[in-house]
Amino acid sequence: MRSVLTILLAFAAGVLVTLWLPGRPGTPSLPEHHPADLPPASASMSPGVSYAAGFEADSEGDDWPPEGPTPEQVLYAQPRLLRDALARVTPRIAGKPNLYLLTFAGDGAEDVFHNEAEYAAKLFTTRFGATAHSLVLENNPATLTSHPLASWSNLDAALAGLGKLMRPEQDILLLYISSHGSEDHTLLVDMDPLPLDQIGAQDLAGILAMHPFKWKVVVINACYSGGFVPPLRAPDTLVLAAARTDRSSFGCGSDSDITYFGKAWLVDALNHTDNFVDAFRQASSEIRQWERQDKLTPSEPQIDIGIGIENQLALWRKGFTPGPAVAFKPPVAAPAAAATTTK
C-alpha cells in the first residue's frame, strides 16, 4: 500500500512541477525524484540521549498538528514551497567565491533538529557576510506551511536549484544534516504520517554525485555518522561527522534545544572562528569534556579533509569580515505545533 501511495504521490508532484514551473523566468526548475527501496544524534542540552539502530516511526501520526494542513495538502504544496525558498536565496556576490548553506533537519518528532537547522542558516548569513547564502529543509509540525520538507526529493531538487544559482566551479556548497542515525548508517527522515524515503550513506553520496558542485563541505550530525565519511570522501570535499562509525552522538531528545555537536561546532566554535577545520577541533575538544563529565561513551567526531578544499575555503574567507557572534535562541513554536509529542 505504501509503495502504491508513494508512486501516486510522486507522479502527482511531478505533474505539479511541470505545470507550475514553466514560464517563470529566473526560477530554477525542479527535477523529478525516482525513489529507491532503501531502509536513522544530538543545549539546554540533554546529556546521554541518543538513538540507535532499529528506530521506527510512529505510525499513528501523533506529531501532526491537529489544526494544520492535511498530509495531502503538504505534499502537493512542496513544489511551490521549494520554488519560493529558492527565490528567497540572496543574490550571488560577483568576483569572489560564495558559500551556499543547505540545512536538512530530518526528524520532525523533535524540535532539536529544526532549531539547529534554522540557527545554522541565521548564523551563516548574519556572521559571514553577503557571500553566504542559505536554504532550509526541515521536518517539523510548526513549519509545514513555511518551509519545504526535508525529504529525498526536496534535497535532490534543492541541490538542482542551487546549482543554477551558483557557479559550481568556484562556489562552495555546505550541506548540514541533523537527524537521528542508525548503526547501518541510515539517516532518519520522518514527518509522520508522510511516506518519506530514508537516506543511507551511499544514497547521499549518489545524490550529491548527480550535481555539478566541485567544492563541498558536508556535515552529518547524527549517531554513527562516521559511516558517511568513506562514500563522501573526495579531493575537493570536507566531511565532518558528529560520531565515529560505531558510536552514538548526544544531545537530542525532547528536553534538548540543540545537539552536543550543534552547540559545540555552530554556537561555540563558529562564533569565534570562520575556519571550519579549526572550529571542528575546538568542538571535538569541548564535546570530549561534556562526555567525560556526563560519563558517556565518547562519540569521537570524525573529519576528512580533501586536498583542495581548504584553499578554496580560505579564498572564501578573504571575501568578508566576520560579524559579531549570533546568540542561539530556540524559535518559539507556532500554536499549531503545541500538541506535538516526542518518539
Q: In this predicted model, what pLDDT tens digit does every residue of 309-343 receive, in sequence order?
A: 999 999 999 999 999 999 998 866 544 333 232 23
Confidence of residue 175 (pLDDT cuts 50, 70, 90): very high
Q: In this predicted model, what pLDDT tens digit does every residue of 107-150 receive, in sequence order?
A: 999 999 999 999 999 999 999 999 999 999 999 999 999 999 99
pLDDT, position 61: 54
Q: How far from 198 is each of 56, 188, 283, CA to CA, in Å? A: 11, 6, 28
Confidence of residue 31 (pLDDT cuts 50, 70, 90): very low
The overall average pLDDT reported for the chain is 83
Phi, psi of 161 (to 5 degrees): -65, -45
Residue 165's contacts (CB-CB under 8 Å, 6 or more residues apart) are: 28, 86, 89, 92, 100, 133
Which of 229 and 21 is assigned the larger pLDDT?
Answer: 229
Question: What mean pLDDT do residues 292-301 have?
Answer: 95
The residue written with cell numbers 532499529 in the block is 54
**Residues pairing with 147 in the sheet:** none
Q: In this predicted model, what pLDDT tens digit does every residue of 71-113 receive, in sequence order?
A: 999 999 999 999 999 999 999 999 999 999 999 999 999 999 9
Question: What mean pLDDT do residues 277-289 have?
Answer: 98
Calpha distance 273→257 (Å, rounded): 23
Q: Is the pLDDT of residue 4 over 60?
A: no
Pairing of strands 132-138, 172-178: unpaired
Calpha distance 20→14 (Å, rounded): 10
Q: Alpha helices, DSSP H only, in the chain? A: 2-20, 71-88, 111-127, 152-165, 201-209, 229-232, 260-261, 276-293, 309-317
Pairing of strands 186-187, 199-200: antiparallel
Phi, psi of 221 (to 5 degrees): -105, 90
Name which of 23-32, 60-69, 94-103, 177-186 the model is least confident about. 23-32
pLDDT, position 332: 61
Q: Which residue ranges make up each domain of the chain?
A: 68-90+98-337
Phi, psi of 51 (to 5 degrees): -125, 135
pLDDT, position 66: 86
Q: Which three cell numbers stand for residue 87?
A: 527565490
Name which of 8-17, 142-151, 180-189, 256-265 the model is least confident about. 8-17
User: Taking the CA atoms of the chain, what radius of gyration do you get in angstroms?
Assistant: 19
Confidence of residue 54 (pLDDT cuts 50, 70, 90): very low
Question: What mean pLDDT do residues 17-23 have?
Answer: 39
Long-range CB pairs of 319-323, under 8 A, 24+ apart, other chains included = 319/93, 319/96, 319/97, 319/98, 319/129, 319/131, 320/128, 320/129, 320/130, 320/131, 320/132, 321/129, 322/127, 322/128, 322/129, 322/274, 323/126, 323/127, 323/128, 323/129
Q: Which three cell numbers stand for residue 80?
A: 511551490
Confidence of residue 168 (pLDDT cuts 50, 70, 90): confident
Q: How far from 142 is each of 43, 95, 194, CA to CA, in Å? A: 20, 38, 15
Which of 297 and 27 is assigned the larger pLDDT?
Answer: 297
Q: Which three cell numbers stand for residue 336?
A: 499549531
Displacement of CA 187 from its chain's centroid (Å): 11
The residue written with cell numbers 566576520 in the block is 322
CATH 1.10.10.10 fits domain 68-90+98-337: no
Calpha distance 124→221 (Å, rounded): 17
The residue written with cell numbers 544530538 in the block is 42
pLDDT, position 37: 30
DSSP-derived 3-state class of residue 159? helix
Cβ burial 88-114 (10 Å sphere, 16+ → b, else e): ebeebbeeebbbbbbbbbbbbbbbbbb
pLDDT, position 254: 73
